Amino acid sequence: MINFGGGGICNFQCCYCIASAKNKPKLQNGLDFVQVFSAYNQAGMLSEDIHVQFNSGEIGVHPKRAEMFHALGDATVSVLTNSSVYVPEIAEKLRYGDAIVNTSLDAGTRGTFRRVKGTDAWERVCDNLRRYAAIRKSSIVLKYIFLPGINDTPAEIDGFLQICKETAGAVQLSSEIYHPERITGATRRAFQYMRESLEQEGILYRISAGAFSDRK
Ligand code: SF4
């Protein structure tokens, strides 16, 4: 697995984001992503067994996006994307089973989405997820970060579940890992409601690191 942080280039302003805009869109050792992967590709070293993850930034708005995907050849990509932009290169990878799309929605309604993401893009994001899911739903992971007092109500979870049923192969649940002390009884009840609902719907889920990870 090779991780590539997108240098903080992003069109959202999530309330929990720590991506740094000071980073440059380069590999950590200062080498250029496109040059390095083009060289690997030309040497026949990239296959679907090579796994590259785009994270920490939005690849959909990266100025070198097309070149970067082209340089990756047949490598498998795991894309942490906000899905505000429909990316043809991701769609193409999905068609061949060489991509996993991971989008953190953290909301089930337009208003809460805007509050968490700093952008009024709920409809656009849901539409793009539907387009990706139409290609390969099993490769779409939707994430929900529980934010106390913001998205821990049954209405938010019901809205999130609806889009999960339409578009998600799996779900990832997390608490707000930087401030676990803020979790309330309402947040824990919402978390339990989410789990029970996912199980009722038969949707696969996993609990990632955070205050919920050791709780049934
Ligand atoms: S989409 Fe990702 S990189 Fe962009 S602001 Fe949100 S958390 Fe940060």
Q: Give the pLDDT band (50/70/90) at residue 9.
A: confident
Over the stretch 78-110, which tens digit does the pLDDT of each residue have? 999 999 999 999 999 999 999 999 999 999 999
**Tokens at residue 16, please?**
């929990």
Give pLDDT, residue 210. Answer: 63
Of 60-74, 81-95, 157-171, 198-212, the range with the lowest mean pLDDT is 198-212
| Ligand 1 pocket check for 82: Cβ under 6 Å | yes
Q: Which residue has the higher pLDDT, 17 or 169?
A: 169
SS3 content of the chain, % helix, strand, coil (to 5): 40, 15, 40
Over the stretch 18-38, which tens digit does the pLDDT of each residue have? 775 444 444 555 568 899 899
Pairing of strands 51-55, 76-80: parallel
Roughly what angle, to the nearest 10 degrees, separates helices 122-136 and 110-117? 100
| Ligand 1 pocket check for 87: Cβ under 6 Å | no
Residue 6 has pLDDT above 80, yes or no: no
Helix (H) or strand (E) holding 77: strand 76-80
Which residues are registered as beta bridge partners of 52?
2, 77
Ligand 1 pocket test: which of 3, 17, 106 has the largest number of ligand atoms within 8 Å of its C-beta? Answer: 17
**Tokens at residue 113, please?**
């989405």
Sketch the domain layout of the chain as residue ranges: 2-207
Kindly report the protein residue whose alpha carbon is nearest to atom 3 of ligand 1.
57
| Ligand 1 pocket check for 72: Cβ under 6 Å | no
Residue 13 has pLDDT above 90, yes or no: yes
Q: How far is residue 59's CA from residue 153's CA, in Å, rounded to a whole number?
A: 31
Helix ranges (DSSP H) in 30-142: 33-42, 65-71, 88-95, 110-117, 122-136
Q: What DSSP character marks residue 102?
A: E
Task: Return the amino acid letter for 17.
Answer: C
According to CATH, what is the number of the domain 2-207? Answer: 3.20.20.70
Average pLDDT of the chain, as a whole number: 89
3-state secondary structure of 99: strand
* Predicted structure pTM score: 0.91
Give pLDDT, residue 24. Answer: 46
Kindly report the protein residue whose alpha carbon is nearest to atom 2 of ligand 1.
57
Give pLDDT, residue 216. Answer: 44
Nearest residue to 176 (alpha-carbon basis) of 149, 205, 203: 149
Question: Would you say 118 and 13 are in contact if contact means Cβ atoms under 8 Å apart?
Answer: yes
Q: How far is residue 128's CA from residue 86's CA, in Å, rounded to a whole number?
A: 6
Over the stretch 135-180, which tens digit does the pLDDT of each residue have? 999 999 999 999 999 999 999 999 999 999 999 999 999 987 777 7
Q: In the predicted model, what is the mean pLDDT of residues 191-196?
A: 96
